[in-house]
Amino acid sequence: MQRVRIVGAGLAGSEAAWQLARLGIPVELIDIKPGKMTPAHKKPYPAELVCSNSFKSDDPQTASGLLKREMRQLDSIILAAADQTRVPAGSALAVDRDMFARKVGAMLKATGLIKYTEREICSLEVDPDTVLLLATGPLTTDKLMSAMSEEWGELLHFFDAAAPIVSFDSLDSSHYFTASRYDRGSADYLNCPLDHKTYLMFRSALIEAEKTEIREFDRKVFQNCQPIESLAEKGEDTMRFGPLKPVGLIDPRTGKQPYAVLQLRREQSTGEMYNLVGCQTRMTFAAQREVFGIVPALSQAEYLRYGVMHRNHYVRGPEVLDIGNRTKTRQNLFLAGQITGVEGYMESAASGLITGRMIALIAAGYPADRIGEIVLPPTTMMGALSAYVSGTDSKDFQPMNANFGIIQYDPDFITAKRKQERRAQLIAASDLHLASWRECYQNLCKKYGIGYENGGL
């Protein structure tokens, strides 16, 4: 059995370590935390959520819901911990971030097979009898990033932003109402209505506010994570059709739909902290207090965390990676998580999950050059993401969220024309292909003598 070392105990690294340990394979899990922290990590635990506490929709009819459905079937630690620490958030899966990360830490420890070491890794070198997985994320430290650039050329990057968090006690309760959009599920959000005049004032203030300077910023911001002030600049109504959309929300005091609504989502189970949904920003801290203070419910808000922006790095996936996330330049070096060019918490965890499964077989003796035969099919969301990072055109390689556009359609299966029916067929195809993949995988585990003691299949 080859030794396995994982660098980075974030979402991808924790998931990969769990998958390996569940198959009975010991893992050395290395992270610079807690002694040193990246600019966004603040807590000592593994699998830290650096921004939103939401894993997006849990509805399998959505792409991120389907991804979760597949990961649950493959014994995901991130989903197991999320399901146990969830906080109310309508149809989204949101968690108490500290409880969630502590839960992941406890579950990893309980395997008895994961040795945690606190250390910064600065090179790609590894003993020939060890498989190395780098899951160091979008904020990989400079020295390791230099080593990656030397090996594969300059890394690509984009900017990602975090939204502010405010304390519940500081909110003006006479200016918000609790409800979920269209009354779906329980009333989990605090909704801060804006009338037309206040909306226009808020928009002008966002446009004029002082921002932190970031070179190349506008060209490189991730489309799904546009700062609120960039949306404000795009047009008068852009925010009303985006994060401030009022549809499906009725203010009980007026019986009407407000002109615009800023939603606050609960951060942890005790409900002391609330996240300004969709309000990621690069305004200076003083400007955040002033501009968000225009929203009546936030006039006296206490900021527990201000919004910030970070440069996120990732490799040129198609040039660097073979299918299965093995690097083309080094036989026993794998990458997983956001550094490969997937985007998002759950996508990063999914990348760790599947890479962990590949490494488990290789560590047990499966020939590494036949990894292409055992990857998940692209008719599943996980397989499609994996195929995307290693198999797309590398000229304009962009980070990718789970979405139905990347999934490969099985023509025998996907025959419906209407969107709802087609989604149902895509889900059925994913179930079927995942089930047959699991059977093959289990047979290989049996053949290579791993798996059954810990029940992780």
Ligand X SMILES: Cc1cc2nc3c(=O)[nH]c(=O)nc-3n(C[C@H](O)[C@H](O)[C@H](O)COP(=O)(O)OP(=O)(O)OC[C@H]3O[C@@H](n4cnc5c(N)ncnc54)[C@H](O)[C@@H]3O)c2cc1C
Nearest-approach distance from CB 317 to ligand X, in angstroms: 13
The one among 344, 378, 383, 451 contacting ligand X by CB under 6 A: 344
Whether the CB-CB separation of 191 and 277 falls below 8 Å is answered with no
Q: Which two tokens stand for residue 140?
A: 């990989």
The one among 137, 246, 317, 456 contacting ligand X by CB under 6 A: 137
Q: Which is nearer to ligand X, 41 or 282 (CB)?
A: 41
Q: Measured on CA atoms in the order 312, 317, 319, 322, is the torsion positive or negative?
A: positive
Q: Which is nearer to ligand X, 135 or 205 (CB)?
A: 135
95 contact partners, CB below 8 Å, separation of at least 6: 49, 53, 55, 81, 82, 85, 86, 87
Is 8 a residue that touches ligand X (CB under 6 A)?
yes
The one among 139, 323, 335, 358 contacting ligand X by CB under 6 A: 139
Q: How far apart are CA 68 and CA 88, in angstroms?
A: 17
437 residue type, one letter: W
Whether the CB-CB separation of 308 and 163 falls below 8 Å is answered with no
Whether the CB-CB separation of 318 and 389 falls below 8 Å is answered with yes
Nearest-approach distance from CB 241 to ligand X, in angstroms: 21
Nearest-approach distance from CB 119 to ligand X, in angstroms: 7
Nearest-approach distance from CB 280 to ligand X, in angstroms: 8
The one among 141, 170, 198, 284 contacting ligand X by CB under 6 A: 141
Q: How far apart are CA 349 and CA 342, in angstroms?
A: 10
The one among 71, 81, 144, 276 contacting ligand X by CB under 6 A: 144
Question: Mask 160-199, x = binds ligand X (CB under 6 A)?
Answer: x-x-------------------------------------
The one among 16, 27, 29, 32 contacting ligand X by CB under 6 A: 32
DSSP assigned state of 67? H
Instruction: Name the segment binding ligand X (CB under 6 A); options: 129-137, 229-237, 389-397, 411-419.
Output: 129-137
Q: Which is nearer to ligand X, 86 or 203 (CB)?
A: 86
Beta bridge partners of 264: 190, 276
Other CB atoms within 10 A of residue 411 CB: 7
If you search the block for the tokens 């090996």, which residue do you land on?
A: 151
Q: How far apart are CA 290 and CA 398, in angstroms?
A: 35
Q: Which is nearer to ligand X, 160 or 410 (CB)?
A: 160
Phi-psi region of 249 (alpha: psi -120 to 50; beta: other; left: phi over 0): beta
320 contact partners, CB below 8 Å, separation of at least 6: 152, 327, 328, 329, 335
Instruction: Name the segment binding ligand X (CB under 6 A); options: 29-37, 78-86, 314-322, 414-422.
Output: 29-37
> Beta 189-194 vs 260-266: how paired, if at all?
antiparallel
The one among 40, 201, 432, 444 contacting ligand X by CB under 6 A: 40
Instruction: Name the segment binding ligand X (CB under 6 A); options: 70-78, 197-205, 343-351, 371-379.
Output: 343-351
Is 50 a residue that touches ligand X (CB under 6 A)?
yes
Q: Which is nearer to ligand X, 162 or 382 (CB)?
A: 162
Q: Tell me whether the omega of the peptide bond preceding residue 26 falls within 30 degrees of 0, making it cis.
A: no
If you search the block for the tokens 């910023």, which residue do you land on?
A: 217
* DSSP H or E segment with residue 159: strand 156-162
The one among 121, 261, 301, 445 contacting ligand X by CB under 6 A: 121
The one among 111, 325, 338, 390 contacting ligand X by CB under 6 A: 338
Residues forming contacts to ligand X in the complex (CB under 6 A) are 7-13, 30-33, 38, 40-41, 50-52, 120-121, 135-141, 144, 160, 162, 310, 312, 337-339, 344-345, 348
